[in-house]
Structure 1
Amino acid sequence: MRAREEHDLPIIATAGWSIPKNVAGSFETEGSNLTRYASVFNGVEINSTFHRRHRKSTFARWAAAVPARFRFAVKMPKTITHTHALKDVAKPFRTFLEDIAPLGEKRGPLLCQLPPSLPFDAGVLDSAFQAIRDCCDGPIVIEARHKSWAAAEALELLKAYAVDRVFADPALVWEAGEFEGAPRYLRLHGKPKTYYSNYTANEIRSFSGMVASDGWCVFDNTASGAAIENALTMLGDP
């Protein structure tokens, strides 16, 4: 099966590149799981960076395993988002950037996923993203999970630092109608059972029409293998 070309954007992806046996026939038969995954999809979201550091050689190996047009969205470590709660993030963020540097031009958006317990604080957000932008001018997206992040001041600060809001499903903070334009990053966690539930064909069609033409749509309902099935459906390969 051919992979999506650059002019076919948005990027349809999953969190991780596990390929369940029931859809294995949609992918190349040879190579690593990542190489096989990249024979169909143009991007993937790396979630494992949230939990632990990887060697630079690991990122170099991943970058070498995929075509030039392939992109990796990378989740920021929980030391930044949860342990530090966005405070004093300059050093851990620089370390994170150094770790993932071997991805080179194949690095896509950096994902900042916040815990549900973290409320919006203008001073903290301002300091955090000033430190982040001092060493990174690439695309950054944020998935907030505390209702206070719906405040107008939060939206203004995120816009000032060119940080795109994630449209998440289920939507805990920002509903689809609250985006000025088409969301540039969708994270679909599955519902009613988060990380497990499959989406229907109609739901997938709706999400497909929602995402920006240069955006990402990431299926994160990976626990039951639904993510890759849903992503293939969106891609046009049921």
Structure 2
Amino acid sequence: MTGAIRVGVGGWTYEPWRGVFYPEGLPQKRELDYAAGRLTAIEINGTYYGSQKPATFAAWARAVPDGFIFSLKASRYCTNRRVLAEAGESIAKFLSQGITELGDRLGPILWQFMATKQFQPDDFAAFLALLPKEQGGLPLRHVLEVRHESFRDPAFFALARKANAAIVLADSDEVPVIDESTADFSYARLMRAEEQIETGYDAAGLDHWAGRAREMAQRGDAFLFFISGAKVRNPAAAQALIDRVGRP
């Protein structure tokens, strides 16, 4: 069964977007509503740096239309540690902060590891065993963003596949590009937006990722986020890709 393709950016509060993506004079409190009307997903990065209140998640859910999805970047305290097997308490704290208030707007959870973190099979297996399949009755989908070459290992792919955890496909020169399907959904982070290109990526690049998105969707839901690069261009890049792949 073909999955849905959702495309977005990281966050929605970014001053250089005002007057470029957001109309001049748009109140800041309406920025999420505006962005959600033009994108189909947003990756929330604030959850990486600190916890949020249940009421905040509930307000975010109310601000977006049906079918819109938030992915959440997991707390750095879960992943930025020497022994991942000891992350259980931090994982439980992150998952219990009120994310279930997002309801059916809750998408994948992104677990990002430091660029210096190397693959240690036993420790990583122990970490994956700590990730629950549901929280408060809501199913959870987990995404792994690994940024060290040691993860380019069939043993890592096998662990991710066993856990039904997706591995980030990064479009970047800064991190390993791991193009491996390990879950019943896919997740890409596209980091090559260029400021001199109005849509961030040129037409050929957007066409390429539209094709890849359709391929991903053959295996289940596909999530693609324009992250970093020339960040001011990322909303335009996302909208241009949505024009090519359509809305769910």
Tell me the TM-score normalised to structure 2 length: 0.80
2:40 to 26, 31, 42: 42
Q: Secondary structure at the match of 1:24?
A: coil
After TM superposition, give the deviation of residue 31 of structure 1 in Å. 6.6
| Structure 1 residues 84 and 59, CA gap change in structure 2 (3 angstroms) | farther
Amino-acid identity (%): 23
Q: 2:61, 2:101 within 8 Å by CA — same for their partners in 1?
A: yes
Q: Secondary structure at the match of 1:185?
A: strand
Q: Work out which structure has the larger RCO, using CA pairs closer than 8 Å and 6 or more positions apart in sequence.
A: 2
1:159 alignment counterpart: 161
Letter in 2 for 1:173: P
Q: 1:165, 1:183 within 8 Å by CA — same for their partners in 2?
A: no
CA distance in 2, matches of 1:85, 1:112: 15
2:171 to 166, 169, 172: 169
CA distance in 1, matches of 2:30, 2:151: 40
1:86 to 84, 87, 90: 84
Equivalent residues in 2 for 1:84-123, closer than 5 Å: 86-99=84-97, 100-123=99-122
Q: Deviations over 1:94-127 (max 9, x none)?
A: 1111112211221000001111100011111111
Q: Specify every segment of 5 or more residues in structure 2 that has no aligned partner in the other structure, as ranges.
A: none
1:14 alignment counterpart: 9
Q: 1:15, 1:222 within 8 Å by CA — same for their partners in 2?
A: no
2:59 alignment counterpart: 61
Letter in 2 for 1:218: F
CA distance in 1, matches of 2:203, 2:72: 28
Q: 2:43, 2:225 within 8 Å by CA — same for their partners in 1?
A: yes
Q: Which moved more, 1:53-62 or 1:128-137?
A: 128-137
Letter in 1 for 2:69: R
Please give the root-mean-square deviation of Cα atoms over the aligned residues, in Å: 2.9
CA distance in 1, matches of 2:42, 2:49: 17
Q: 1:142, 1:166 within 8 Å by CA — same for their partners in 2?
A: yes
Q: 1:167, 1:183 within 8 Å by CA — same for their partners in 2?
A: no
CA distance in 2, matches of 1:119, 1:96: 23
1:138 alignment counterpart: 140
1:3 alignment counterpart: none
CA distance in 2, matches of 1:183, 1:167: 12
Letter in 2 for 1:110: I
| Structure 1 residues 134 and 91, CA gap change in structure 2 (3 angstroms) | farther
CA distance in 1, matches of 2:133, 2:27: 43
Q: 1:142, 1:163 within 8 Å by CA — same for their partners in 2?
A: yes
Counting matched residue pairs gives 225
2:128 alignment counterpart: 129
Q: Deviations over 1:6-35 (max 9, x none)?
A: x9930011001244422336xx99971111
